[in-house]
Amino acid sequence: MYSVAVVGAGPAGSTAARTLSEMGYKVVLIDRKEVVGLPKQCAEGLFAACFPEFSTSPGEFITGKVRYLKVVFPDQTSYRLRGDLLMLDRPRFDQHLLGLAERSGADLVLGQKVEGIDPYSGEVRLRGGETIRAKAIVGADGPASRVGRSIGLRNRLVPAAQVEMTWPCDDTIYAYIDRDLPHGPYSCWIFPKNEAGTANVGCFGTFPTLERFISKYEIEGEVVEKNGGAIPLGLAARLQKGRAVLIGDAGGLTNPFTGGGLYPAARSARIAAGAIDRYLRGETKGIEYESAMRRDFVASDLHLKARDALAGLSNRELCRLGAAVDGLIFPGLKLSASPILVWRGLLHPGIMRPKYAPLLKLLFRYCLAGKVW
Ligand SMILES: Cc1cc2nc3c(=O)[nH]c(=O)nc-3n(C[C@H](O)[C@H](O)[C@H](O)COP(=O)(O)OP(=O)(O)OC[C@H]3O[C@@H](n4cnc5c(N)ncnc54)[C@H](O)[C@@H]3O)c2cc1C
Q: What is the CATH number of the domain that holds 263?
A: 3.50.50.60
Determine the average pLDDT of the residues in 277-304: 90
pLDDT at 362 over 80: no
Who has greater pLDDT, 304 or 124?
124
26: how many CB neighbours lie within 10 A of its CB? 16
pTM score: 0.92
Residue 138 CA, ligand 1 centroid: distance in Å: 15
- The reply to whether ligand 1 has any atom less than 6 angstroms from the CB of 53 is no
- The reply to whether ligand 1 has any atom less than 6 angstroms from the CB of 205 is no
φ and ψ at residue 237, rounded to 5 degrees: -60, -35
* Separation CA 26–CA 81 (nearest Å): 43
- The reply to whether ligand 1 has any atom less than 6 angstroms from the CB of 179 is no
Determine the average pLDDT of the residues in 22-37: 98
Nearest to 324 by CA among 274, 284, 363: 363
pLDDT at 218 over 90: yes
pLDDT at res. 185:
63
- 82 shares a domain with 104: no
pLDDT at res. 366:
58
pLDDT at res. 297:
83
pLDDT at res. 44:
97
- 264 shares a domain with 133: yes
Highest-confidence range of 8-12, 49-53, 85-89, 208-212, by mean pLDDT? 8-12
What band does 356 get if pLDDT is binned at 50, 70 and 90?
low
Highest-confidence range of 42-56, 67-81, 95-109, 343-357, by mean pLDDT? 95-109
How many CA atoms within 13 Å lie on the side-chain side of 216?
Answer: 18
Nearest to 348 by CA among 337, 359, 362: 359
354: how many CB neighbours lie within 10 A of its CB? 6
* Separation CA 140–CA 148 (nearest Å): 9
- The reply to whether ligand 1 has any atom less than 6 angstroms from the CB of 142 is yes
- 103 shares a domain with 13: yes
φ and ψ at residue 333, rounded to 5 degrees: -70, -35
339: how many CB neighbours lie within 10 A of its CB? 11
What band does 255 get if pLDDT is binned at 50, 70 and 90?
confident
* Separation CA 265–CA 51 (nearest Å): 11
pLDDT at 239 over 70: yes
- Quote the mean pLDDT of the chain: 89
- The reply to whether ligand 1 has any atom less than 6 angstroms from the CB of 254 is yes
Residue 260 CA, ligand 1 centroid: distance in Å: 10
- 98 shares a domain with 68: no
Task: Using the 3D structure, point to which of 232, 267, 288 is the last residue of a domain.
Answer: 232
pLDDT at 371 over 60: no
What band does 370 get if pLDDT is binned at 50, 70 and 90?
low
Among the atoms of ligand 1, which is closest to the Cα of residue 264?
Answer: 19
With the C-alpha atoms ordered 325, 331, 336, 338, is the resulting torsion angle positive or negative?
Answer: negative
Q: Which domain holds residue 262?
A: 2-39+90-153+233-296
- The reply to whether ligand 1 has any atom less than 6 angstroms from the CB of 232 is no
Who has greater pLDDT, 156 or 341?
156
pLDDT at 236 over 80: yes
Residue 107 CA, ligand 1 centroid: distance in Å: 21
8-state DSSP, 217: T
Residue 41 CA, ligand 1 centroid: distance in Å: 7
* Separation CA 194–CA 45 (nearest Å): 12
User: What's the N-to-C CA distance of the chain in angstroms?
Assistant: 36
Determine the average pLDDT of the residues in 196-225: 95
Lowest average pLDDT, out of 130-139, 264-273, 288-297, 302-311, goes to 302-311
- 168 shares a domain with 219: yes
**Domain count of the chain?**
3
Residue 301 CA, ligand 1 centroid: distance in Å: 21
Residue nearest to atom 38 of ligand 1 (CA): 141
- Tell whether omega for the bond before 358 is within 30 degrees of 0, i.e. cis: no
pLDDT at 4 over 90: yes
- 118 shares a domain with 35: yes
pLDDT at res. 147:
98
pLDDT at 333 over 80: no
- 277 shares a domain with 243: yes
What band does 184 get if pLDDT is binned at 50, 70 and 90?
low
- The reply to whether ligand 1 has any atom less than 6 angstroms from the CB of 160 is yes
pLDDT at 261 over 70: yes
* Separation CA 235–CA 146 (nearest Å): 16
